[in-house]
Structure formats: C-alpha cells, structure tokens
Structure 1
Amino acid sequence: MSRIKRWINMHKKEFNADGSLKNEARQEMLSVGMSNEAIDDYASRLKARYDEWKHLDETDPEPWPIYTAYDFFSEQEKREFNPDGSLRPEYIEYARKIGISENALEEQERRKKIVVDNYNEVSAGYAEKGINFGASKMKERIEDSRTYAQRRRQMEQDLRNFEPEDSLPFDKNTSY
C-alpha cells in the first residue's frame, strides 16, 4: 500500500486526508497552552512529511507483492484444495474411494473456506492501514524456516554486534 495511506492512518486524529491540520486539533492544542506559532510549526513539519511521502508514492512506489491464503497452504493442502478453499475434484474422488464420508468432505471444505475468508478479511483490513499482511506473513514463514545452523550463525553475528541477550534465539552459553 502507499506511504501516504500509512501517514494518514498514523495522523488521522489530528490531520485531514490532504495533510492539513484539523481545526479541532488546533483548538485542542490551543486549549492546552500551545502557541499558534508552535502549532503552525508542528503542522508545517508534518505537512512537509506528508508531501514528501506523497511525492515518493508517485515517483517511487513501494513494491506490494500479493499473497493469497493459497500461498500459505502446505503442499498436501494444495493437492486437496483449490485457492478458494473448495476441494479439488480429483481429491474428492480419491477420498470417496478410501471411504471418507460426504459429511467429512463437506466439513473439510467448510473449514478451509473459513480459513481463506478470514485471511482475505484480515489482509483487506491491514491493506486499508497501509500494511501488506501477506508479505509480513511470508517474511515470518521464511524466518521460521531458517535452519538451526543459519540461526546459530546469525546469533554469533548478533553477539559480535552486542545485541541484547534476550533477543537471541538461543542461550549464548550453548556449546556447539
């Protein structure tokens, strides 16, 4: 999503969608003793940031990779389900042959469709706030899939960089 949407979301209580200070916010600031000059300075600094982010959105938009719930299905689930959460016909045929009941198949499909719908709803909600939910989930998944050796090397680098011990993935005294 755009930087400007994130800016608007961060400052929506005090600023309009065009980056101008809301009159109610100005009145509130005056009521707590801020001077007009201080308020104008604050408003102009944030408006400058708004203009900068708007310009960046127009000239250098941030990449926004699109991930669907299907991208997070396991390989087994991809063999069984379509991207919308419905069961694949070939899986239904196979499941019937091995004795899985129609009710069980319907329940499997119902549950997977709920997962897909929930993902889509959450993703849309995050997008309205300027956050790419799918990209952040994919980043988590990639981080989680790193091997022990990779995490160990990263921890050694973190120790050299004097990172706090509570941020390390392992106890620093672990022998190897």
Structure 2
Amino acid sequence: MSGTRIKRWLNMHGKEFLADGTLKLEARQQMLAQGISEGAIDSYARRLKIKYDEWKHLDETDPEPWPVFTAYDFFTPTEKQQFNPDGSLKPEYRESELALGISENWLDEMERRKKLEVDNYNELSAYYAQRGINFGKEQMEERLAFSLTYPQRVKQMEQDLRNCEEPSSLPFDKDTSWF
C-alpha cells in the first residue's frame, strides 16, 4: 500500500499539521497563546517537516511491503472446512450437519456469527489501512508470537532486554527473579 509512512505520520501529527507536512495556523496560534516562542515553534515545525519529507521520500522510493490477510487466513482448520471466506456455511457442511440432526436455526446462527466476525475484521482492516497500519499483518504477527513456546518467549525476552527494548513491549516483567 502506497504512502503508509505518511499516513502514520499524519495519524500521529494530523491535529497540528496539514496533509503536506506544514504546521497548521491554528496550531501555531495555540502554541503562541501557551507562551511558546516563534523560534521554538519554527524549530518544531521544521523538524517535523523534515521527518515528513523523509517518510514521503521513503514511501515513494522504498514502499513498505503490505501483505494482505483476510479474515479467512485466521480461520481454524475446522472453520475452513465449515465456512467459505465470506463467513457463509459451505453447502456440503450444512447438508451433512442437517443429516446429523443439527437444527437449521443453529446453523443459521453459526453462519450469522461468522459473517459478523468477517465483517468486523474487514471494517477494522479498512479503518487501520486509512491510518497506514496493516491490521492483518499485525494480527498475524501477534498470533505467531503467541504460538511461541514459553522457553522461546523467555529467550526472546532476554534478547529484547539486551537490545534495550521498551519494557512495556516485553511479554514478562523484566524484574522477575528467574532472569
């Protein structure tokens, strides 16, 4: 997806800055009213404009990869046997369950819930894409991180501590005695 860095920049700074990376007049006036000097405001605006220009250049010359994940990618193997990518029940599954005596109402409810889940995923994905965030990729990375075994997570945390990662991003409290 093109422009993901700029979308993130605007998501972070859009209240104060225009879409071209320049400081909004009302933001400048508010800063002046708070007693911030013209020089400090100009310095702040210049620094953020430089960052904006860097990110814009990167978006143009080296776009970030944007792997596309659908809700179906997060279905369990069993759900993939039961449901189509849009959340509707597969006809063969519906028929086999009806033959086993499962009620039509229950199957309709299963389908309704799965379609709602797919719709929610699609809405979140679109919402975050507008802000330059790949929701599906983040969900997949989170799922993969949870799938690591406990010893792997401990080992990863030790590496993260050596790399001076932010403590809030660590899976465990860094002051735990077994470290």
* TM-score of the alignment, normalized to the shorter chain, above 0.5: yes
Shift of 1:35: 2.1
Q: What does residue 8 of structure 1 align with?
A: 10
Code of the aligned partner of 2:42: D
**Distance (whole Å) between structure 1 residues aligned to residue 112 and residue 16 of structure 2:** 43
Residues 6 and 56, structure 2, Cα contact 8 Å, conserved in 1: yes
**TM-score of the superposition, structure 1-length normalised?**
0.87
Code of the aligned partner of 1:89: P
**Distance (whole Å) between structure 2 residues aligned to residue 23 and residue 38 of structure 1:** 15
Residues 86 and 109, structure 1, Cα contact 8 Å, conserved in 2: yes
1:102-146 deviation per Cα after TM superposition (whole angstroms, max 9, x unaligned): 111111100100000111111111111211111111111101111
2:61 is the counterpart of 1:59: yes
Shift of 1:152: 4.4
Q: What does residue 131 of structure 1 align with?
A: 133
Residues 14 and 25, structure 1, Cα contact 8 Å, conserved in 2: yes
Q: What does residue 150 of structure 2 align with?
A: 148
Q: What does residue 25 of structure 1 align with?
A: 27
**Distance (whole Å) between structure 2 residues aligned to residue 31 and residue 169 of structure 1:** 44
**TM-score of the superposition, structure 2-length normalised?**
0.86
Residues 157 and 171, structure 2, Cα contact 8 Å, conserved in 1: yes
2:38 is the counterpart of 1:36: yes
Work out the number of aligned pairs and report it.
173
Gaps of 5+ in 1: none
Q: Secondary structure at the match of 2:49?
A: helix
Q: CA RMSD in A?
A: 2.4
Shift of 1:18: 0.7
Gaps of 5+ in 2: none
Q: What does residue 121 of structure 1 align with?
A: 123
